[in-house]
Amino acid sequence: PQPIQNTNSLSILEEQQRQQQQQQQQQQQQQQQQQQQQQQQQQQQQQQQQQQQQQQQQQQQQQQQQAVAAAAVQQSTS
């Protein structure tokens, strides 16, 4: 009966190792998913920054147009 116990303990050890490997693989996959999510968030932030820059440019253009219009009005009234 002793050798049977030995093989049993071996198989139990092997199973435990397999389970640990599976868990490690799952954890690695989760980490990869988290990294992908972080990258997506960074991309979204960059897009938001670009939109803000575009809005600022539009505001500057509007201010310039208003200044040109005001100058034209002054010239016509003088």
pLDDT at 55: 93
Domain boundaries defined on the chain: 1-78
DSSP string, 13-66: HHHHHHHHHHHHHHHHHHHHHHHHHHHHHHHHHHHHHHHHHHHHHHHHHHHHHH
In this structure, what token pair is assigned to residue 14?
């092997």
List all residues 6 or more positions away from 36 whose beta carbon is below 8 Å from its beta carbon: none
Over the stretch 20-50, which tens digit does the pLDDT of each residue have? Answer: 999 999 999 999 999 999 999 999 999 999 9
The yes-or-no verdict on residue 72 having pLDDT over 60 is yes
